[in-house]
Amino acid sequence: MNKKKVVVTGLGLITPVGSTVKDYWNSLLEGRSGVKRIQCFDPSKFSSQIAAEVLDFDPSEYLNPKEARKTDRFVQFAIAAAKKAATDSKLNLDAEDRNRIGVIIGSGIGGLHTVEAEYGKYIERGPEKGPSKISPFLIPMLIANMASGQVSIYLKVKGPNTAVVTACASGNHAIGDAFRIIQRSEANAMIAGGSEAAITIMGFGGFCSLRALSKRNDEPERASRPFDKDRDGFVMGEGAGVVILEELEHALKRDANIYCEIIGYGMSGDAYHMTAPDPEGDGAIRCMKICIDDAGLKPEDVDYINAHGTSTIYNDKVETLAIKKVFGEHAHKLAISSTKSVTGHLLGAAGGAETIACALAIKQDIAPPTINLENPDPECDLDYVPNKPRHMKINVVLSNSLGFGGHNATLAFKKYTS
């Protein structure tokens, strides 16, 4: 099959460290953490009391009040990020064949805010009167595919439309699947990424019960510390990251600004455990190798890896091991960083936001740092670009996302040259 070339032409996001591309990128480079004590509910009874919340989001900037009441926060994030990405791409939808533009936006959890609010009404009214208070919009507000569905409705695009639910790999899988659709010439452009808004009492409490979250409550901004010996868990975040992918010739015809080319996609399953990675890194190894082969690369062609890098004991150690096994001696020459050290872990939105970090790293030849890396773990002994950004030639980048359930997704990007 003659595969079409695919490029990234638009970026849009909502994050705890900025909801413009400029603010987000500057926060990454300056190491300005978005982690604070939780404000959306009282966390005092929880073992962890910190998260990376989006504190300045106003849905009325993107939706009218009636529409906002009928959409969960994760859908609002997705609509906002998609509109921003479309604007950034300067894609004139009125001049396009809308049947040839599609949407894939992933979410690991979906409408948890809606579930809790509606169940709260039921409990408050009791079993006799409670059912009458359940909103008829409950189901269409909570289902995870509604981010893709609503974005297609608001932007009036009618091409391939689906959703991905693969926990923390959702954003990467969504972008990878969109890449494949354009490669097969089934669409001219795709709106792709991830969105998540699960910082609720139940969502946060569930991760606390898993003992997955950092308890560094007295130093929130220093809590997310991937690859550091003193890491004690990840920091929950929220937001959305959405990109516009286009078939290269389509982008060139309209003289689009091209951030980078997407050239490879790999996915695999650990088949090991619900929440823990395979201790030998088998799934992550195969995923990266598949991606590298798909891109037509050699391991030594890769300059930078945006790591999954969650700041958990097992993930960081296993991801390091996997990188060593894939890249051999070249592993020690790679620049690797985890932008989750700044943003927290955006769960299903992580891959979307991190793809934007990769695109900007390539465009500007800067590797963003891993902040809070003060006491390196002896088992994490690669170059994680500690604490300060690095100006360097970046031609090829990999981005890893490794999710609960053993879902793995790796994307490859390279600098676009005409």
Active site residue ranges: 168, 308, 345
Q: Is 49 left (phi over 0), alpha (psi -120 to 50) or beta?
A: alpha
- Sequence-distant (≥ 6) Cβ neighbours of residue 21 within 8 angstroms: 11, 12, 13, 88, 356, 360
- Name the 3-class secondary structure at 51: strand
- Asked whether 110 and 232 are in contact (CB, 8 A), the reply is no
- DSSP string for 322-377: HHHHHHGGGGGG-EEE-THHHH-B-GGGHHHHHHHHHHHHHHHTEEPPBTT--SB-
- CA gap 205, 236 in Å, rounded: 11
Q: How far is CA 346 from CA 56, 101, 175, in A?
A: 16, 26, 16
- Asked whether 336 and 304 are in contact (CB, 8 A), the reply is yes
- Asked whether 151 and 105 are in contact (CB, 8 A), the reply is yes
| Token pair of 369 as six digits | 């740092």
Q: Which of 184, 202, 398 is nearest to 285 (CA)?
A: 398
Q: Which helix (H) or strand (E) holds 170?
A: helix 170-183
* Number of neighbouring beta carbons within 10 Å of residue 132: 9
Q: Kindly report the CA angle at 340 between 238 and 76, in degrees rounded to 5?
A: 20
Amino acid at 27: S
